[in-house]
Amino acid sequence: MGAEKTILTMAKAAKRAGFILSQASSREKNSAIKKMAGSIKRNAGYILKENAKDRKAAEKNRIKPSLLDRLTLNKKRITAMAASLYEIAKLKDVIGEIKETIKRPNGLLIAKMSVPIGVIGIIYESRPNVTSDCAGLCLKSGNSVILKGGSEALNSNKAIFKCLQSAIKDTSIPRDAISLITSKRRSAVAELLRLDRYVDLIIPRGGEGLIREVARRSRIPVIKHYKGICHVYVDSDADLNMAHKIAINAKVERPGVCNAMETLLVHKDIAVRFLPVVAHDLKSKGVEIRGCAKARHILKWAKRADEKDWATEYLDLILSVKVVDDIDVAIKHITTYGSNHSDAIVTNNYDNAMKFLKRVDSACVYVNASTRFTDGYEFGMGAEIGISTDKLHARGPMALKELTTYKYVILGKGQIRR
Amino acid sequence: MGAEKTILTMAKAAKRAGFILSQASSREKNSAIKKMAGSIKRNAGYILKENAKDRKAAEKNRIKPSLLDRLTLNKKRITAMAASLYEIAKLKDVIGEIKETIKRPNGLLIAKMSVPIGVIGIIYESRPNVTSDCAGLCLKSGNSVILKGGSEALNSNKAIFKCLQSAIKDTSIPRDAISLITSKRRSAVAELLRLDRYVDLIIPRGGEGLIREVARRSRIPVIKHYKGICHVYVDSDADLNMAHKIAINAKVERPGVCNAMETLLVHKDIAVRFLPVVAHDLKSKGVEIRGCAKARHILKWAKRADEKDWATEYLDLILSVKVVDDIDVAIKHITTYGSNHSDAIVTNNYDNAMKFLKRVDSACVYVNASTRFTDGYEFGMGAEIGISTDKLHARGPMALKELTTYKYVILGKGQIRR
């Protein structure tokens, strides 16, 4: 009960702070964000000391090396955290913008004004830099934020949070605009997810299990992506050299992330020319290939892909390969097994490019480029608070603009409705 | 269990139909909508006969006269239903529009393409015209729709649905794009709300009880408004003649709707001049006035407003009146008791107008106009599928544009991420 009250109290305070923050000027917000960056830089030693505690516990608990890597901070990563905050301070402030003005026949002037959403809860795992990134993005967009990181990173997150708090202490930004839930109880998240009166949006970041659990329990709207089963379809009219480079990049450059390719679809007419060369290159880079029957007819050495493979996000140096009769079969495959994240066609055929763009129902649909570009920085947003494969509010990479909503402002001169 | 399977089957079919509908041309969609309008007009006699059955049952069950009125169809209302569909056919098709194009330094062209949301569930009460309006708006925006009306209007809804279905039978629009749940079981709604794999959005329309129940149970995102506790604040610098007209219009023109005023806030400096005149006029129009202590000091005859009044949506000829010390107290009152729907200030003071616009966190914030304009038609959207007081995706009146989402389309010439 004690912790429940604390989270409720925290959420109420965040709501109040949000009202004040929503009225803050760009200068006030940017100044606070720059102070946060400075505080992180100055206290790097302290943050590293606290991070060492988390790493020691993690090693004792024998967590996976990939998780340990995500948990680990070093001088360079702390500098990057501060740099990211300086970048956020430089971004254009989108709050208060007026758009889509309508003049009605009765003289009413109706427009949308861009405003903060209110209070945003971020539930995340492992990477402590999420703490400062999300605090910076939410503050810049005028939203209060309630952060709940994984217990494996608690000491690191607490240290970073302390730096952020001490930085905004002497600014006009209310301290309750940034909160960190430090309870290790699993129920703490459940408590937060019930507070739909005070919290306006939940963004979960982490493994599919965490995200499904949050989505299932939440009474608050959740924007999320479960996973990224991304496809590259190489059309019969493709520039095979280009297709080769895109396939390698999409699979190998960073296989553990959600915008990496998991399935390569190849048109039957170019499969014999294309597959042996690209598969050999992939194999030389350590990629295990699992093919359909037709693909294995060409690549005798490849493993067999079964039904489960098409629906699996490997997040690893594994690739499933399917030879398809035409673009329609490729699109049908993506519709059946994809995760609505990022899918690409490589083609020089205009009609097929347009068909793919229109029919593939994913957050990001590419023609002749690598799926790896699905990222807030790469899209020119300056930062990223997450990626959405949902249909409502925001799709694809989300940053400042996606942390805003609008209200209608209506300017009259005494109009009444008749 | 039989019905559960039917609703699941219906949702799956709606999803498939949605893919086809999302690719339909404007001409195909408009032609189908016009045929739907024609079918409603031609079958007016049949619809009226079925509606009579509902009315007879309603009278037997002694439902409230206001509900009976909303349930009742007549020639004029059926003509209006058809006219509304013709209007929807005339609206601009927003699907496929390209916006917010970004050219990246690496040459990538990134843009948002406007696309349908997918499958939309509408859960509503009483008014049978919602059946045809929502079917028309969803079809025009390329979305499949699953309709679930109240059991009190089941015969009417079935009749209208039959007309719509027979109209699209000979078009290229798949019949499963429009479905009606005819089960009278309460659990039918619960079943629908679990199908987040197939249904993308739920819009409930009706009383607060229905909407809260839907929001509580749904695994699918819900856009909604619970109620409209709308305020008009008359500032010390107001044109009192204008304020008078706006107050009368906002309260009296149609008191039973969500954008009608429920509380009048009056600055203390003009209360003695303003309140007696406007209150007398309101009283003469049958409005019961419930005032705070200061208001009752001026209006001796007024009833006393208690704490509960400030938080009540009367939907009736009742008005609560509060005299406030200044605009800050007015904004604080709206923040505390309002429903984030529609609130107005009447003032000639520029600073106060701007302060009210910025600080009142409602879907629609008015300066010098009646709150009664919060409506899709009045905003120039041509139609309305509902009003949102939520923060995400859409706020205020929702129509075609709010029934769309976007996908990112990324056009490259072989770019890979380095």
Phi, psi of B8 (to 5 degrees): -60, -45
Residues A314 and A346 in one domain: yes
Q: Is residue A383 part of a domain?
A: no
Mean pLDDT across the stretch B332-358? 97
Which residue has tokens 């149970």?
B217
CA neighbours closer than 13 Å in the CB half-sphere of residue A260: 21
In a domain, B384, yes or no: no
The answer to whether the Cβ–Cβ distance between A104 and B378 falls below 8 Å is yes
Nearest-by-Cβ selection for A408 from B108, B364, B417: B364
Predicted confidence at residue B5, as pLDDT, reads: 58
Interchain CB distance below 8 Å, A253 and B357: no
Task: Give the residue carrying structure tokens 């106009």.
Answer: B369
pLDDT in tens, A214-244: 998 999 999 999 999 999 999 999 999 999 9
- Determine the residue of chain A that is closest to B332 in CA distance: A19
Instruction: Check whether residue A70 and residue A144 sit in a common domain.
Output: yes
Per the structure, the count of domains in chain B is 2
How many CB pairs (< 8 A) connect A and B?
198
User: What whole-number distance in Å separates Cα of residue B165 and Cα of residue B175?
Assistant: 7
B38 and B175 share one domain: yes
pLDDT tens figures, B239-270: 999 999 999 999 999 998 999 999 999 999 99
The CATH number assigned to the domain holding A186 equals 3.40.605.10
Contact B413 A370 (CB under 8 A): no
Q: Which of B106, B114, B87 is nearest to B403 (CA)?
A: B114
Looking at the structure, tell me whether residues B123 and B260 fall in a common domain: no
Q: Are residues B253 and B201 part of one domain?
A: no
Mean pLDDT for chain A? 95
* Per-residue pLDDT, B221: 93
Cα–Cα distance for residue pair B369/B371, rounded to 1 Å: 7
The shortest C-alpha distance from A3 to chain B (Å) reads 24
Q: Which residue has the tokens 């290939």?
A: A289
Any domain includes A160: yes
On chain A, the residues whose CB falls within 8 A of the CB of B102 are 379-380
Closest-CA residue in chain A for B396? A408
At residue A4 the predicted structure's pLDDT band, cuts being 50, 70 and 90, is: very low
B364 part of a folded domain? yes
Residues A180 and A235 in one domain: no
- Tell which of A362, A371, A402, A408 to mutate to test the B interface (max B CBs under 10 Å): A408
Looking at residue A69, its pLDDT comes to 87
Q: B160-171 burial by CB neighbour count: b if 16+ within 10 A, else e? A: bbbbbbebbeeb
The CATH code of the domain that includes B289 is 3.40.309.10
Average pLDDT on B189-209 reads 94
**In the structure encoding, which two tokens stand for residue B216, read together?**
């509580």
**Are the C-beta atoms of residues B77 and B129 closer than 8 Å to each other?**
yes
The predicted pLDDT at position A66 comes to 79
**pLDDT digit string, tens, across residues B84-123:** 999 999 999 999 999 999 999 999 999 999 999 999 999 9
d(CA A349, CA A356): 11
Same domain flag for A177 and A197: yes
Partners of residue B104 in chain A, C-beta under 8 Å: 378-380
CB-CB under 8 Å, A391 with B408: no
- Does A187 map to a domain? yes
> Does residue A223 come out as left (phi exceeding 0), alpha (psi in the -120 to 50 range) or beta?
beta
Cβ <8 Å between A410 and B364: yes
Please say if the pLDDT value at position A2 is more than 90.
Answer: no
Cβ atoms of B180 and B158 closer than 8 Å: yes
**Does the pLDDT at position B4 exceed 80?**
no
**Looking at the DSSP assignment, which residues form a beta bridge with residue A291?**
A304, A321
Is residue A416, in this structure, part of any structural domain at all? no
Asked if B219 and B305 sit in the same domain, the reply is no
> Are B50 and B157 part of one and the same domain?
yes
CA dist B281 and A83 (Å) reads 63
Residue B309 domain boundaries: 230-373
Confidence of residue B160 (pLDDT cuts 50, 70, 90): very high
Provide, as residue numbers in chain A, all residues whose Cβ is less than 8 Å from the Cβ of B223: 392
Q: Tell me the average pLDDT across B167-182.
A: 96
Which of B96, B201, B412 is the closest to A366 by Cβ?
A: B412
The answer on B247 and B187 residing in a single domain is no
- Minimum CA–CA partner of A344 in chain B: B410
Contacts of A63 (CB under 8 A, 6+ apart): A71, A152
For tokens 């949605």, name the residue: B18
| Closest chain B CA to residue A118 | B391
Identify residue A343 by its one-letter amino acid code: D
What is the percentage of chain A residues whose pLDDT exceeds 90? 90
In this structure, the answer to whether residues A126 and A256 fall within a common structural domain is: no
ipTM above 0.90, yes or no: yes
Which pLDDT band, with edges at 50, 70 and 90, does B66 fall under?
confident
In a domain, B388, yes or no: no
- Is A362 part of a structural domain of the chain? yes
State which amino acid sits at residue B38: G
Instruction: Compute the radius of gyration of chain B from its Cα atoms.
Output: 24
Q: Are residues B249 and B187 in the same domain?
A: no
Contacts of residue B216 in chain A, CB cutoff 8 Å?
219
Query: Is B415 within 8 Å of A23 when comparing Cβ atoms?
Result: no
Residue A358 with chain B: CB contacts under 8 Å = 23, 96
